[in-house]
Amino acid sequence: MPSKPDEDDDAALFRQAIGPVKPLPESALPPARPKPRPRAGMAELDERAALGEFQRGLADLSVLAAGDTLSYRRELVPPAVFQRLKRGRFSAQDELDLHGATILQAESMLRQFLAEAHDHEFGCVRIIHGKGLRDGGSMPPLKNLVDRVLRQRADVLAFHSAPAAQGGTGAVLVLLARR
């Protein structure tokens, strides 16, 4: 029989109370959880930003009437620059007149014109779409086409109907991004 432990030795009293112990067999550690797959966080943010801008562009699309003003500005264009564009303070480096063109012809001409303007690194161009008063209806088709195409293009930073001396609501000044 083991000797009587000292009354003050708590550890010895505990060992006496529980009796002999045997160690547990060693076991392997539980398997670690698999690490999550890496995500392209910046790409997701870019996609969300692009989708947000696209949806804002769609929300802005409404049928324009003959006298309505075309106006659009990307967030990266400072308001002061946009004000200069609205006032016609930018010199148009090239011009496209869509008078007399069908919708399909006008869209093709417009896309080709913008691509060439971008290739020549023009900063500002003027597009004459007409007011649509001769069409008989209240919706000018060329004006609405120009509005839709310009909003979809990544190289278009901003646009606004020209001042009265430069064509008024029958023309639009377009600010283009440089390469």
Is the domain 68-176 a CATH 3.40.50.300 member? Answer: no
Find tokens 């161009």 and name the residue. 125
Instruction: For residue range 154-167, list pLDDT tens digits in order.
Output: 999 999 999 988 88
> For residue range 2-29, what is the model confidence (pLDDT) as tens digits?
555 455 688 888 888 888 888 888 888 7
At 59-76, the pLDDT tens digits run 455 677 767 888 999 999
| 56 band by pLDDT with thresholds 50, 70 and 90 | low
Predicted TM-score (pTM) of this structure? 0.63
Residue 126 banded pLDDT, cuts 50, 70, 90: very high
Q: What would the 3-class secondary structure string for the chain be?
A: CCCCCCCCCHHHHHHHHHCCCCCCCCCCCCCCCCCCCCCCHHHHHHHHHHHHHHHHHHHHCCCCCCCCCCEEECCCCCHHHHHHHHCCCCCCCCEEECCCCCHHHHHHHHHHHHHHHHHCCCCEEEEECCCCHHHCCCCCHHHHHHHHHHHHCCCEEEEEECCHHHCHHHEEEEEECCC
Say how far apart CA 15 and CA 3 lie, in whole Å: 12
Where is pLDDT greater, at 144 or 2? 144
Q: How many Cβ atoms from other residues are within 10 Å of residue 120's Cβ?
A: 11
Average pLDDT, the chain: 83
